[in-house]
Amino acid sequence: MNNGFRNEKPIGVFDSGLGGLTALSELRRLMPNEDIVYFGDSARIPYGTKSPSVIKKFALQDTRFLLSKGVKAILVACGTVSSNCLNEVYEEAGVSVVGVIEAAAKRAAEIAKGGNGLVAVLGTNATVNSGAFEKALNGFGISEVISVACPMFVPLVENWHPSVDDGATNAIVSEYLLPIAAKKPSAVILGCTHYPLLEEVIKKYLPESVLISSGAVAAEELKALVSKLSIENSNGGATEFYTSGGAEMFVKNAGRFLKDMKVEAAEQVDIERFE
């Protein structure tokens, strides 16, 4: 029982676009009394195709924007930033930082150690090529990893109607997942924040019990960290949305990334200003 607020500062979440809203959704559900500030860098999406120095520059600008809102902790919902420069974000921020890669790898390792030790990772081309999940999983004692690039998943979520009955969706999802399903991994990381929106279809090919959503796990990790540091707020609950792209477009498209919540308004930010 919490008898009063301890730290009323907000929690910050950033992503290269809208995908991180699936992590925000989870954070909102887990921490109903926290204020949360979300920044989506929609004007500069995707990060995955940029050079490491550009990714770092963008990540630090995103971090500085959140710091300008006085955040007490940051969830990096962007897989590219989490794998490329999480340490730099942490050094810049001076507050607690949780990335999606390490949190999901840790959880997958725990589960796989209780099973057959095999972990599968589904990710974008950039994430799979980076080898970041494999490296993190190795660090947690997992040596058997299957990584599968699923480059059609984001387009399906962004540009199609990926329902459980849709022919194109099932053809694509089954082609990616059936070879993995045959190997019966103990844990499968949904290594991109867009993928939870395909979960209903993915569950047709892989058992729900093995699926790990990287955004959701990072949200749980952040909650645990805030609790450990005793910096919870029991007095908040507001969510603010900022984007580098068009605010109207953000509001219009954000809906389907969010469970049980709506975006009423978003504010456009000149992110290049946060040098």
Toward a second copy, which CB reaches closer, 139 or 151? 151
Q: Interacting stretch for a second copy, rule CB under 8 A, among 29-37, 47-55, 209-217, 221-229?
A: 47-55
* Residue 20, both tokens: 């991180």
Query: Other C-beta atoms within 10 Å of 75: how many?
Result: 33
Instruction: Among 49, 68, 143, 163, indicate the residue that binds a second copy (CB under 8 A).
Output: 49
Question: Of residues 7, 30, 43, 113, which one binds a second copy by CB under 8 A?
Answer: 43
231 SS3 class? coil
Positive/negative CA dihedral, 13, 35, 72, 66: positive
Stretch that binds a second copy, among 21-29, 67-75, 163-171, 184-192 (CB under 8 A): 163-171
Whole-number Å distance between alpha carbons of 229 and 209: 31
For helices 21-30 and 214-228, the axis angle rounded to 10 degrees is 40
Annotated catalytic residue 192: yes
Measured at the CA of 54, the angle between CA 50 and CA 57, to 5 degrees, comes to 145
Q: Which tokens go with 247?
A: 């605010």
Cβ atoms 92, 85 nearer than 8 A: no
The stretch among 133-141, 152-160, 195-203, 207-215 that binds a second copy (CB under 8 A) is 152-160
Total of residues contacting a second copy (CB under 8 A): 21
Q: Which amino acid is at 202?
A: I
What would the x/- binding string for a second copy be over residues 218 to 237, using CB under 8 A?
--------------------
Residue 51 as a binder of a second copy (CB under 8 A): the answer is yes
Q: Which two tokens stand for residue 177?
A: 């997942």
Tell me if 270 contacts a second copy by CB under 8 A: no
Applying the rule CB under 8 A, the residues between 164 and 203 that interact with a second copy are: 166-168, 171-172, 175
Q: For residue 241, what is the enclosing H or E element?
A: strand 239-243
Contact between 155 and a second copy by CB under 8 A: the answer reads yes
245 binds a second copy (CB under 8 A): yes
67: contact with a second copy by CB under 8 A: no
| Residue 85 DSSP class | -
Q: Quick one: tokens of 216?
A: 């959701």
Which one of residues 67, 146, 148, 152 is an interface residue with a second copy (CB under 8 A)? 152
Chain contacts with a second copy (rule: CB under 8 A): 42-43, 45, 49-51, 125, 151-152, 155-156, 158-160, 166-168, 171-172, 175, 245
